[in-house]
Amino acid sequence: MSENHNSAGGVPTTGHVWDDDLADFTNQPPKWWMLGLTASAIWVVVYFIMYPAIPLATNGTFFKGVGLPGSGQWTAIKELETDTAVLDAVRKPYEDKLKGMEPAAILADADMSEYVSRSGKVLFSDNCGGCHGQNGVGSMQTGAKFAQREQGLMAPILLDDDWLYGGEVETIYETIAEGRQGMMVAHKDILSAAEIDTLANAVAAGTPTATPLFAEKGCTACHGEDGKGMHAMGSANLTDKVWRFDGSIEGIKQTIKYGVNSGDPETRVAIMPNFTEAGKLSTTEMKKLAVYVYKFGGGTAPVVEAPVAAVAVDAASATEAASAPAAQ
Ligand code: HEC
Ligand code: HEC
Protein backbone atom coordinates (compact mmCIF):
# COMPACT_ATOMS: atom_id res chain seq x y z
CA MET A 1 0.00 0.00 0.00
CA SER A 2 1.42 3.33 -1.00
CA GLU A 3 0.45 6.51 0.70
CA ASN A 4 1.59 9.02 -1.85
CA HIS A 5 0.89 8.28 -5.51
CA ASN A 6 2.17 11.64 -6.71
CA SER A 7 5.83 11.35 -5.77
CA ALA A 8 8.38 8.85 -4.53
CA GLY A 9 11.82 9.78 -3.22
CA GLY A 10 11.20 13.31 -4.42
CA VAL A 11 10.60 12.35 -8.08
CA PRO A 12 7.16 13.35 -9.24
CA THR A 13 5.01 10.82 -11.04
CA THR A 14 2.72 11.33 -14.02
CA GLY A 15 -0.23 10.50 -11.83
CA HIS A 16 -0.87 7.17 -13.61
CA VAL A 17 -1.22 4.39 -11.05
CA TRP A 18 -1.85 0.71 -11.56
CA ASP A 19 -2.50 -2.00 -9.03
CA ASP A 20 -2.44 0.62 -6.28
CA ASP A 21 1.34 0.94 -6.07
CA LEU A 22 2.71 0.85 -9.62
CA ALA A 23 3.28 4.42 -10.84
CA ASP A 24 4.93 6.30 -13.74
CA PHE A 25 7.92 8.45 -12.71
CA THR A 26 8.83 11.52 -14.71
CA ASN A 27 12.58 10.74 -14.59
CA GLN A 28 14.68 11.95 -17.54
CA PRO A 29 16.06 9.12 -19.68
CA PRO A 30 19.81 8.54 -19.10
CA LYS A 31 22.18 11.09 -20.65
CA TRP A 32 23.82 8.60 -23.09
CA TRP A 33 20.39 7.79 -24.44
CA MET A 34 19.47 11.42 -24.96
CA LEU A 35 22.81 12.03 -26.70
CA GLY A 36 22.17 9.08 -28.98
CA LEU A 37 18.72 10.38 -29.84
CA THR A 38 20.02 13.86 -30.63
CA ALA A 39 22.87 12.45 -32.74
CA SER A 40 20.45 10.32 -34.78
CA ALA A 41 18.18 13.30 -35.34
CA ILE A 42 21.13 15.32 -36.62
CA TRP A 43 22.28 12.39 -38.80
CA VAL A 44 18.84 12.16 -40.39
CA VAL A 45 19.05 15.79 -41.45
CA VAL A 46 22.61 15.40 -42.78
CA TYR A 47 21.65 12.21 -44.64
CA PHE A 48 18.60 13.84 -46.21
CA ILE A 49 20.75 16.67 -47.48
CA MET A 50 23.49 14.42 -48.88
CA TYR A 51 21.47 11.60 -50.47
CA PRO A 52 18.41 11.50 -52.71
CA ALA A 53 15.63 11.19 -50.15
CA ILE A 54 13.02 13.92 -50.08
CA PRO A 55 10.09 13.55 -52.47
CA LEU A 56 8.86 16.83 -53.92
CA ALA A 57 5.30 17.86 -54.55
CA THR A 58 5.79 17.74 -58.33
CA ASN A 59 5.02 14.35 -59.71
CA GLY A 60 7.87 11.86 -59.52
CA THR A 61 10.57 14.38 -58.69
CA PHE A 62 12.69 14.30 -55.61
CA PHE A 63 15.48 16.25 -54.04
CA LYS A 64 18.58 14.57 -55.48
CA GLY A 65 20.91 15.36 -52.61
CA VAL A 66 24.11 17.38 -52.70
CA GLY A 67 26.27 14.25 -52.59
CA LEU A 68 29.39 13.44 -50.67
CA PRO A 69 32.11 16.05 -50.56
CA GLY A 70 34.40 15.40 -53.51
CA SER A 71 32.32 12.76 -55.29
CA GLY A 72 29.24 14.64 -56.37
CA GLN A 73 25.66 13.49 -56.33
CA TRP A 74 25.22 9.87 -55.36
CA THR A 75 23.09 7.53 -57.45
CA ALA A 76 22.72 3.77 -57.30
CA ILE A 77 23.66 3.51 -61.00
CA LYS A 78 26.87 5.50 -60.42
CA GLU A 79 27.79 3.19 -57.57
CA LEU A 80 27.11 0.12 -59.72
CA GLU A 81 29.17 1.56 -62.57
CA THR A 82 32.09 2.27 -60.27
CA ASP A 83 31.96 -1.26 -58.82
CA THR A 84 31.70 -2.82 -62.28
CA ALA A 85 34.59 -0.75 -63.53
CA VAL A 86 36.73 -2.02 -60.66
CA LEU A 87 35.78 -5.63 -61.47
CA ASP A 88 36.32 -5.15 -65.20
CA ALA A 89 39.75 -3.77 -64.56
CA VAL A 90 40.62 -6.93 -62.63
CA ARG A 91 39.14 -9.16 -65.34
CA LYS A 92 40.43 -7.36 -68.41
CA PRO A 93 43.94 -8.79 -68.55
CA TYR A 94 42.49 -12.31 -68.19
CA GLU A 95 39.75 -11.75 -70.75
CA ASP A 96 42.24 -10.26 -73.24
CA LYS A 97 44.60 -13.18 -72.78
CA LEU A 98 41.77 -15.73 -73.13
CA LYS A 99 40.97 -14.49 -76.64
CA GLY A 100 44.23 -15.82 -78.02
CA MET A 101 44.29 -19.10 -76.10
CA GLU A 102 43.11 -22.56 -77.09
CA PRO A 103 41.16 -24.47 -74.40
CA ALA A 104 44.09 -26.88 -73.86
CA ALA A 105 46.46 -23.94 -73.29
CA ILE A 106 44.05 -22.46 -70.74
CA LEU A 107 44.02 -25.76 -68.87
CA ALA A 108 47.80 -25.89 -68.83
CA ASP A 109 48.06 -22.36 -67.39
CA ALA A 110 47.31 -22.61 -63.66
CA ASP A 111 46.38 -18.94 -63.31
CA MET A 112 44.06 -18.83 -66.30
CA SER A 113 42.52 -22.15 -65.47
CA GLU A 114 41.71 -20.93 -61.95
CA TYR A 115 40.18 -17.74 -63.37
CA VAL A 116 38.03 -19.73 -65.77
CA SER A 117 36.84 -22.11 -63.04
CA ARG A 118 35.55 -19.14 -61.12
CA SER A 119 33.95 -17.23 -63.95
CA GLY A 120 32.57 -20.37 -65.60
CA LYS A 121 30.25 -21.17 -62.73
CA VAL A 122 27.67 -18.51 -63.54
CA LEU A 123 27.93 -19.17 -67.28
CA PHE A 124 27.24 -22.84 -66.66
CA SER A 125 24.28 -22.20 -64.36
CA ASP A 126 22.77 -19.74 -66.84
CA ASN A 127 23.21 -21.78 -70.00
CA CYS A 128 23.68 -25.44 -69.16
CA GLY A 129 22.42 -26.18 -65.66
CA GLY A 130 18.80 -26.32 -66.78
CA CYS A 131 19.46 -29.54 -68.68
CA HIS A 132 22.68 -30.90 -67.18
CA GLY A 133 21.82 -30.07 -63.58
CA GLN A 134 23.65 -27.59 -61.42
CA ASN A 135 27.36 -28.44 -61.50
CA GLY A 136 26.72 -31.09 -64.16
CA VAL A 137 25.13 -33.68 -61.88
CA GLY A 138 22.46 -34.36 -64.50
CA SER A 139 18.75 -33.84 -64.06
CA MET A 140 15.92 -36.30 -64.40
CA GLN A 141 13.21 -35.79 -66.94
CA THR A 142 10.05 -35.02 -65.09
CA GLY A 143 6.67 -33.72 -66.08
CA ALA A 144 3.97 -35.17 -68.28
CA LYS A 145 5.76 -34.55 -71.56
CA PHE A 146 8.60 -36.86 -70.62
CA ALA A 147 6.87 -39.19 -68.20
CA GLN A 148 4.91 -40.80 -70.99
CA ARG A 149 8.13 -41.75 -72.73
CA GLU A 150 9.81 -42.78 -69.49
CA GLN A 151 12.87 -40.83 -70.41
CA GLY A 152 15.88 -41.05 -68.17
CA LEU A 153 18.27 -38.14 -67.85
CA MET A 154 17.35 -34.96 -69.63
CA ALA A 155 21.03 -34.59 -70.52
CA PRO A 156 24.14 -36.60 -69.68
CA ILE A 157 25.95 -36.25 -66.37
CA LEU A 158 29.12 -34.27 -67.00
CA LEU A 159 30.95 -35.11 -63.78
CA ASP A 160 31.97 -38.65 -64.64
CA ASP A 161 34.44 -39.96 -67.19
CA ASP A 162 31.71 -41.70 -69.16
CA TRP A 163 31.58 -39.73 -72.42
CA LEU A 164 29.31 -40.14 -75.40
CA TYR A 165 31.43 -37.89 -77.58
CA GLY A 166 34.71 -37.69 -75.69
CA GLY A 167 36.09 -35.83 -72.71
CA GLU A 168 39.09 -34.11 -74.32
CA VAL A 169 38.78 -30.38 -73.78
CA GLU A 170 38.71 -29.74 -77.56
CA THR A 171 35.90 -32.27 -78.00
CA ILE A 172 33.89 -30.67 -75.22
CA TYR A 173 34.40 -27.32 -76.95
CA GLU A 174 33.18 -28.81 -80.21
CA THR A 175 30.10 -30.24 -78.46
CA ILE A 176 29.20 -26.80 -77.09
CA ALA A 177 29.98 -24.90 -80.28
CA GLU A 178 28.28 -27.26 -82.72
CA GLY A 179 25.68 -29.07 -80.65
CA ARG A 180 25.11 -32.85 -80.71
CA GLN A 181 22.33 -35.10 -81.68
CA GLY A 182 23.01 -38.84 -81.36
CA MET A 183 20.96 -41.02 -83.69
CA MET A 184 19.90 -44.59 -83.21
CA VAL A 185 17.46 -46.11 -85.65
CA ALA A 186 14.17 -47.59 -84.48
CA HIS A 187 14.34 -51.40 -84.58
CA LYS A 188 10.69 -52.24 -83.99
CA ASP A 189 10.17 -53.21 -87.64
CA ILE A 190 13.58 -54.77 -88.10
CA LEU A 191 13.73 -57.15 -85.12
CA SER A 192 11.29 -59.72 -83.75
CA ALA A 193 9.97 -59.42 -80.20
CA ALA A 194 12.14 -62.39 -79.19
CA GLU A 195 15.26 -60.81 -80.67
CA ILE A 196 14.56 -57.51 -78.90
CA ASP A 197 14.08 -59.46 -75.68
CA THR A 198 17.39 -61.32 -76.02
CA LEU A 199 19.27 -58.12 -76.88
CA ALA A 200 17.68 -56.15 -74.03
CA ASN A 201 18.64 -58.84 -71.52
CA ALA A 202 22.22 -58.97 -72.76
CA VAL A 203 22.51 -55.16 -72.68
CA ALA A 204 20.95 -54.93 -69.20
CA ALA A 205 23.56 -57.37 -67.90
CA GLY A 206 26.31 -55.16 -69.29
CA THR A 207 27.35 -57.90 -71.75
CA PRO A 208 25.81 -56.93 -75.10
CA THR A 209 28.25 -59.09 -77.06
CA ALA A 210 27.07 -62.20 -75.18
CA THR A 211 24.47 -62.65 -77.90
CA PRO A 212 25.53 -63.06 -81.55
CA LEU A 213 22.52 -60.90 -82.46
CA PHE A 214 24.45 -57.82 -81.33
CA ALA A 215 26.81 -58.17 -84.31
CA GLU A 216 24.30 -59.83 -86.68
CA LYS A 217 21.73 -57.07 -86.30
CA GLY A 218 24.20 -54.28 -86.81
CA CYS A 219 24.39 -52.87 -83.28
CA THR A 220 28.18 -53.07 -83.59
CA ALA A 221 28.10 -50.60 -86.48
CA CYS A 222 27.43 -47.81 -83.99
CA HIS A 223 28.23 -49.29 -80.58
CA GLY A 224 31.49 -50.91 -81.68
CA GLU A 225 32.63 -54.56 -81.80
CA ASP A 226 33.03 -54.57 -78.03
CA GLY A 227 29.80 -52.66 -77.32
CA LYS A 228 31.72 -49.89 -75.59
CA GLY A 229 30.40 -47.17 -77.85
CA MET A 230 32.12 -44.96 -80.40
CA HIS A 231 32.83 -41.32 -79.63
CA ALA A 232 32.52 -40.38 -83.29
CA MET A 233 28.85 -41.39 -83.21
CA GLY A 234 28.00 -40.49 -79.64
CA SER A 235 26.75 -44.03 -79.16
CA ALA A 236 26.52 -45.05 -75.53
CA ASN A 237 28.86 -47.54 -73.87
CA LEU A 238 26.60 -50.52 -73.29
CA THR A 239 29.00 -52.44 -71.04
CA ASP A 240 29.29 -50.07 -68.07
CA LYS A 241 25.69 -50.09 -66.83
CA VAL A 242 25.72 -46.29 -66.75
CA TRP A 243 22.37 -45.39 -68.28
CA ARG A 244 21.43 -42.31 -70.22
CA PHE A 245 17.87 -43.49 -70.52
CA ASP A 246 15.99 -46.14 -68.62
CA GLY A 247 18.25 -49.08 -67.68
CA SER A 248 15.48 -51.52 -66.83
CA ILE A 249 14.78 -54.39 -69.27
CA GLU A 250 11.55 -52.65 -70.30
CA GLY A 251 13.33 -49.34 -70.71
CA ILE A 252 16.08 -50.88 -72.83
CA LYS A 253 13.48 -52.60 -75.03
CA GLN A 254 11.89 -49.20 -75.48
CA THR A 255 15.21 -47.72 -76.65
CA ILE A 256 15.85 -50.61 -79.05
CA LYS A 257 12.31 -50.49 -80.47
CA TYR A 258 11.98 -46.76 -81.01
CA GLY A 259 15.61 -45.61 -81.20
CA VAL A 260 17.05 -42.23 -80.30
CA ASN A 261 16.19 -39.10 -82.31
CA SER A 262 14.97 -41.59 -84.93
CA GLY A 263 11.92 -39.67 -86.07
CA ASP A 264 9.60 -42.30 -84.57
CA PRO A 265 6.90 -40.60 -82.43
CA GLU A 266 7.96 -42.78 -79.48
CA THR A 267 11.67 -42.18 -79.91
CA ARG A 268 13.91 -41.03 -77.13
CA VAL A 269 15.00 -37.45 -77.58
CA ALA A 270 18.57 -36.30 -77.02
CA ILE A 271 19.43 -32.92 -78.42
CA MET A 272 22.34 -30.85 -77.24
CA PRO A 273 21.75 -27.34 -78.61
CA ASN A 274 24.29 -25.51 -80.71
CA PHE A 275 25.62 -22.47 -78.84
CA THR A 276 27.27 -20.73 -81.77
CA GLU A 277 24.02 -20.11 -83.63
CA ALA A 278 22.43 -16.71 -83.12
CA GLY A 279 25.49 -15.76 -81.09
CA LYS A 280 24.14 -17.40 -77.96
CA LEU A 281 27.65 -17.56 -76.54
CA SER A 282 30.88 -15.92 -77.60
CA THR A 283 33.93 -17.99 -78.49
CA THR A 284 35.54 -16.94 -75.22
CA GLU A 285 32.50 -18.00 -73.25
CA MET A 286 32.48 -21.40 -74.95
CA LYS A 287 36.18 -21.85 -74.23
CA LYS A 288 35.54 -21.03 -70.60
CA LEU A 289 32.74 -23.58 -70.46
CA ALA A 290 34.81 -26.29 -72.14
CA VAL A 291 37.52 -25.83 -69.52
CA TYR A 292 34.93 -25.55 -66.76
CA VAL A 293 33.23 -28.82 -67.76
CA TYR A 294 36.58 -30.56 -68.21
CA LYS A 295 37.51 -29.53 -64.69
CA PHE A 296 34.45 -31.20 -63.21
CA GLY A 297 36.96 -34.02 -62.98
CA GLY A 298 35.85 -36.37 -65.73
CA GLY A 299 37.89 -34.77 -68.48
CA THR A 300 40.24 -36.86 -70.57
CA ALA A 301 43.76 -35.54 -70.17
CA PRO A 302 45.49 -34.58 -73.39
CA VAL A 303 48.24 -36.94 -74.52
CA VAL A 304 51.43 -35.12 -73.68
CA GLU A 305 54.47 -36.17 -75.62
CA ALA A 306 56.98 -35.75 -72.83
CA PRO A 307 60.59 -35.51 -73.93
CA VAL A 308 62.33 -38.76 -73.00
CA ALA A 309 65.24 -36.86 -71.42
CA ALA A 310 62.96 -35.47 -68.72
CA VAL A 311 62.80 -38.92 -67.09
CA ALA A 312 66.55 -39.10 -66.61
CA VAL A 313 66.98 -36.05 -64.39
CA ASP A 314 70.19 -36.53 -62.44
CA ALA A 315 70.16 -36.11 -58.70
CA ALA A 316 72.39 -33.03 -58.69
CA SER A 317 70.20 -30.92 -60.98
CA ALA A 318 67.07 -32.06 -59.15
CA THR A 319 68.46 -30.78 -55.86
CA GLU A 320 69.57 -27.60 -57.54
CA ALA A 321 66.09 -27.02 -58.94
CA ALA A 322 64.46 -27.69 -55.58
CA SER A 323 66.65 -25.20 -53.75
CA ALA A 324 66.45 -22.49 -56.40
CA PRO A 325 64.42 -19.45 -55.31
CA ALA A 326 60.86 -19.50 -56.64
CA ALA A 327 60.48 -17.51 -59.82
CA GLN A 328 58.24 -14.50 -59.62
C1 HEC B 1 18.28 -28.29 -73.89
C2 HEC B 1 19.08 -29.07 -72.99
C3 HEC B 1 20.58 -28.85 -72.99
C4 HEC B 1 21.26 -27.69 -72.74
C5 HEC B 1 20.72 -26.31 -72.44
C6 HEC B 1 22.67 -28.04 -72.77
N7 HEC B 1 22.83 -29.36 -73.05
FE8 HEC B 1 24.56 -30.35 -73.23
N9 HEC B 1 23.59 -32.01 -73.81
C10 HEC B 1 22.23 -32.15 -73.87
C11 HEC B 1 21.89 -33.47 -74.40
C12 HEC B 1 20.50 -34.02 -74.58
C13 HEC B 1 23.11 -34.11 -74.67
C14 HEC B 1 23.30 -35.50 -75.24
C15 HEC B 1 23.26 -35.43 -76.73
C16 HEC B 1 23.22 -36.79 -77.33
O17 HEC B 1 22.89 -37.74 -76.63
O18 HEC B 1 23.52 -36.93 -78.53
C19 HEC B 1 24.16 -33.17 -74.27
C20 HEC B 1 25.50 -33.44 -74.37
C21 HEC B 1 26.50 -32.62 -73.86
C22 HEC B 1 27.89 -32.96 -73.81
C23 HEC B 1 28.51 -34.27 -74.30
C24 HEC B 1 28.56 -35.27 -73.17
C25 HEC B 1 29.25 -36.53 -73.59
O26 HEC B 1 29.05 -37.51 -72.86
O27 HEC B 1 30.00 -36.55 -74.55
C28 HEC B 1 28.56 -31.91 -73.23
C29 HEC B 1 30.03 -31.79 -72.95
C30 HEC B 1 27.56 -30.90 -72.95
N31 HEC B 1 26.33 -31.36 -73.34
C32 HEC B 1 27.84 -29.67 -72.38
C33 HEC B 1 26.90 -28.65 -72.28
C34 HEC B 1 27.24 -27.29 -71.91
C35 HEC B 1 28.60 -26.80 -71.49
C36 HEC B 1 26.08 -26.58 -71.97
C37 HEC B 1 25.89 -25.09 -71.72
C38 HEC B 1 26.58 -24.21 -72.62
C39 HEC B 1 25.03 -27.50 -72.37
N40 HEC B 1 25.58 -28.72 -72.57
C41 HEC B 1 23.69 -27.15 -72.53
C42 HEC B 1 21.29 -31.21 -73.51
C43 HEC B 1 21.57 -29.89 -73.20
C1 HEC C 1 22.82 -45.83 -86.09
C2 HEC C 1 23.63 -46.09 -84.94
C3 HEC C 1 23.08 -47.04 -83.89
C4 HEC C 1 22.69 -48.33 -84.03
C5 HEC C 1 22.64 -49.16 -85.33
C6 HEC C 1 22.34 -48.80 -82.72
N7 HEC C 1 22.49 -47.82 -81.81
FE8 HEC C 1 22.02 -47.94 -79.86
N9 HEC C 1 22.51 -45.98 -79.62
C10 HEC C 1 23.04 -45.17 -80.59
C11 HEC C 1 23.30 -43.87 -80.03
C12 HEC C 1 23.88 -42.69 -80.79
C13 HEC C 1 22.92 -43.94 -78.68
C14 HEC C 1 23.11 -42.88 -77.60
C15 HEC C 1 22.09 -41.85 -77.60
C16 HEC C 1 22.36 -40.81 -76.57
O17 HEC C 1 22.66 -41.11 -75.40
O18 HEC C 1 22.27 -39.67 -76.96
C19 HEC C 1 22.40 -45.27 -78.46
C20 HEC C 1 21.89 -45.70 -77.25
C21 HEC C 1 21.52 -46.99 -77.00
C22 HEC C 1 21.00 -47.45 -75.74
C23 HEC C 1 20.74 -46.58 -74.52
C24 HEC C 1 21.87 -46.64 -73.55
C25 HEC C 1 21.64 -45.86 -72.27
O26 HEC C 1 22.64 -45.51 -71.63
O27 HEC C 1 20.49 -45.61 -71.89
C28 HEC C 1 20.77 -48.80 -75.88
C29 HEC C 1 20.25 -49.71 -74.81
C30 HEC C 1 21.16 -49.17 -77.22
N31 HEC C 1 21.60 -48.04 -77.88
C32 HEC C 1 21.11 -50.44 -77.71
C33 HEC C 1 21.30 -50.76 -79.04
C34 HEC C 1 21.13 -52.08 -79.59
C35 HEC C 1 20.82 -53.31 -78.80
C36 HEC C 1 21.34 -51.97 -80.94
C37 HEC C 1 21.22 -53.05 -81.99
C38 HEC C 1 19.91 -53.61 -82.15
C39 HEC C 1 21.66 -50.59 -81.21
N40 HEC C 1 21.63 -49.89 -80.05
C41 HEC C 1 21.92 -50.09 -82.45
C42 HEC C 1 23.27 -45.51 -81.91
C43 HEC C 1 22.97 -46.73 -82.48
Residues 227 and 187 both lie in one domain: yes
In this structure, the residue with its CA closest to atom 38 of ligand 2 is 219
- Is there a domain that residue 324 lies in? no
Of ligand 2's listed atoms, the one at least distance from the Cα of 242 is 26
Taking CA 186 as the corner, what is the angle to CA 182 and CA 207, rounded to the nearest 5 degrees? 75
Residue 10 is predicted with a pLDDT of: 76
Measured CA to CA, the distance from residue 229 to residue 251 in angstroms comes to 19
* Domain housing 224: 90-258
Of ligand 2's listed atoms, the one at least distance from the Cα of 260 is 15
- Is there a domain that residue 27 lies in? yes
Ligand 2 pocket residue status of 106, Cβ below 6 Å: no
Write out residues in the chain with pLDDT < 50, as ranges.
1-4, 144, 146-149, 309-328
Residues 157 and 223 both lie in one domain: yes
Ligand at minimal distance from the CA of 180 is 1
Ligand 2 pocket residue status of 184, Cβ below 6 Å: yes
Please check whether residue 169 is in contact with residue 104, taking contact to mean a CB–CB distance below 8 angstroms: yes
Last residue of a domain, one of 211, 231, 258: 258
Last residue of a domain, one of 229, 258, 287: 258
Ligand at minimal distance from the CA of 214 is 2
Residues 34 and 121 both lie in one domain: no
Residues 143 and 239 both lie in one domain: yes
Residues 121 and 21 both lie in one domain: no
Residues 57 and 109 both lie in one domain: no
Of ligand 1's listed atoms, the one at least distance from the Cα of 290 is 35
Residues 211 and 100 both lie in one domain: yes
- Is there a domain that residue 140 lies in? yes
Residues 204 and 57 both lie in one domain: no
106 alpha carbon – ligand 2 mean position (Å):
34
Task: Flag whether the pTM goes above 0.85.
Answer: no
- Is there a domain that residue 76 lies in? no
Number of domains, the chain:
2
In this structure, the residue with its CA closest to atom 21 of ligand 1 is 272
- Is there a domain that residue 310 lies in? no
In this structure, the residue with its CA closest to atom 11 of ligand 2 is 235
Which residues contact ligand 1 via a Cβ below 6 A? Answer: 127-128, 130-132, 155-156, 158, 163-165, 172, 175-176, 180-182, 234, 270-273, 275, 289, 293
Residues 28 and 155 both lie in one domain: no
Residue 324 is predicted with a pLDDT of: 45
Residue 157 is predicted with a pLDDT of: 87
Please report the beta strands in 75-201, taking only residues with DSSP state E, as ranges in sequence order.
139-140, 153-155
Ligand 2 pocket residue status of 185, Cβ below 6 Å: yes
Residue 18 is predicted with a pLDDT of: 86
129 alpha carbon – ligand 1 mean position (Å):
10
Residues 51 and 166 both lie in one domain: no
- Is there a domain that residue 34 lies in? yes
Please check whether residue 155 is in contact with residue 131, taking contact to mean a CB–CB distance below 8 angstroms: yes
- Is there a domain that residue 78 lies in? no
* For the chain, percent of residues with pLDDT exceeding 70: 84
The phi, psi pair for 272, rounded to 5°, reads -95, 115
- Is there a domain that residue 223 lies in? yes
Count CB neighbours of 11 within 10 A.
11
Residues 56 and 100 both lie in one domain: no
Residues 30 and 125 both lie in one domain: no
Please check whether residue 150 is in contact with residue 269, taking contact to mean a CB–CB distance below 8 angstroms: no
Residue 310 is predicted with a pLDDT of: 45
Note the pLDDT tens digit of each residue in 210-224.
999 999 999 999 999
Last residue of a domain, one of 239, 258, 277: 258
Measured CA to CA, the distance from residue 180 to residue 35 in angstroms comes to 70
